[in-house]
């Protein structure tokens, strides 16, 4: 995920008590990284959640959306301090979240990124390692290594 994720885009111990708070914190971080308006990012994420939950099961959430003004697809990975109800399809609380944002016209690139993230986070061994990682650097290393393993 090296092309989607940077070390600055890792939130190793995100504090949030609800799905809405998680989305607000992710929007704030995305605004810092992209220069986009925090409220616009939050609104895109909430609108996507209205279509159906992005809580994909087994403690994983992949909120995503398209935003005018972005130059490429980007990700933010967060490990929550405490799992929150994300209205996931398996009704389990979520503690690992990968936010994906794409430019408005990035149809295929957005879907490819979503598929890559989904495939990586379906690996229970990786998820256990992510949950046990000591730091943001360790989280980043695990996620970056995943891409290399999948590419091999």
How would you write the chain as a 3-class SS string?
CCCCCCHHHEEEEECCCCHHHHHHHHHHHHHHHHCCCHHHHHHHHHHHHHHCCCEEECCEECCEEEECCCCCCEEEEEEEEEEECCCCCCCCCEEEEEEEEEECCCHHHHHHHHHHHHHHHCCHHHHHHHHHCCCHHHHHHHHHHHHHHHHC
> Among this protein's residues, is 37 annotated catalytic?
no
**Distance between CA atoms of 112 and 54, rounded to whole angstroms?**
16
Write down the catalytic residue from 29, 64, 79, 110. Answer: 64
What is the set of active-site residues?
Answer: 64
């Amino acid at each position: 995920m090296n092309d989607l994720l940077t070390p600055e885009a890792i939130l190793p111990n995100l504090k949030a008590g609800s799905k809405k708070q998680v989305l607000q914190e992710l929007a704030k971080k995305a605004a810092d990284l992209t220069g986009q308006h925090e409220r616009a990012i939050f609104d895109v994420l909430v609108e996507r959640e209205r279509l159906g939950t992005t809580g994909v099961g087994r403690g994983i959430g992949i909120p995503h959306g398209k935003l005018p003004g972005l130059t490429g697809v980007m990700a933010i990975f967060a490990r929550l301090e405490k799992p929150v109800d994300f209205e996931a399809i398996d009704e389990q609380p979520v503690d690992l979240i990968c936010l994906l944002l794409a430019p408005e016209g990035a149809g295929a690139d957005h879907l490819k990124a979503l598929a890559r993230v989904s495939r990586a986070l379906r690996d229970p061994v990786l998820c256990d390692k992510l949950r046990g990682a000591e730091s943001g650097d360790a989280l980043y290393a695990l996620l970056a290594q995943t891409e290399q393993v999948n590419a091999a």
